[in-house]
Amino acid sequence: MVWIGALATAAVAGAGAAAGYLGLVTGALPLDVGVGRRTRPLGPQTVDVAAPREVVFDVVAQPYLGRATRAMREKVQVLERGTDMVLAAHRTPVAGGRLTAKTTETVRFTRPERIDFRLVRGPVPTVTESFVLTEHGSGTRLVYEGGLATDLWRAGQWWGDLVAPRWEATVATSLAAIRQEAERRAQAA
């Protein structure tokens, strides 16, 4: 009988650990205790775009300030809109598309040179990011960089080491899409 109790306890602990992991991955169970915080850089990632800075800015800002395409509405939902800032929910497939991470971020716009993102809720306590747009030759240079913070010392650092590469890969995919759309618009003009 003792082994049945131990097995039941192990099953409950395993289910709790799995639920905690799923909660962290999807952003449903954010962990922000402010103890043992460590910050790591994100980026920089640089993309040169053969389009004017205003066009690149408009492509980045469109899902937040304008009418989003159907594909973008599946990824970004504006929850609150101000004159130069929005609160937006982002949905990103993770774990081979079996799970969806949900983050909530503020997005602040400084036309035409900067867009800043600050995580409000997600898989880590803090993320700050920026897209800085500068004129470069006949086009635009878009530089992404930021920082990702985790709590709980080494355990948090381990979690950040898992999250950061996926976060940066998602940004790289977005930057490629921004470049493609901005260059398409510039050619059509």
Peptide bond into 112 cis (omega under 30): yes
pLDDT tens digit sequence for 29-46: 667 888 999 999 999 999
User: 3-class DSSP state for residue 100?
Assistant: strand
pLDDT at 12 over 60: no
Share of the chain above pLDDT 90, in %: 70
DSSP 8-state assignment for residue 123: S
Closest CA to 86 of 62, 69, 102, 70: 62
Structure-model confidence comparison of residues 115 and 29, the more confident one? 115
Dihedral, CA of residue 96, residue 64, residue 136 and residue 169, to nearest 10: -10
What's the pLDDT score for residue 48?
98
Q: What is the pLDDT of residues 98-113, one digit of tens each?
A: 888 899 999 999 999 9
Is the pLDDT at 27 greater than 90, yes or no?
Answer: no
Buried b (16+ CB within 10 A) or exposed e, 124-157: bbbbbbbbbbeeeeebbbbbbbbebbbbbeeebe
Residue 147 pLDDT exceeds 90: yes
Residue 150, both tokens: 């985790």
The answer to whether 149 and 39 are in contact (CB under 8 A) is yes
Instruction: Encode pLDDT of 55-90 as tens digits.
Output: 999 999 999 999 877 888 889 999 999 989 999 999
Q: Cα torsion at 107, 109, 110, 113 (round to 10°)?
A: 90
User: For 58-63, which contacts have Cβ atoms below 8 Å and span 24 or more sequence positions?
Assistant: 58/185, 59/178, 59/181, 59/182, 59/185, 60/115, 60/131, 60/178, 61/109, 61/111, 61/115, 63/88
* pLDDT score at 71: 80
Element (H, E) at 154: helix 153-188
More confident residue, 29 or 142: 142
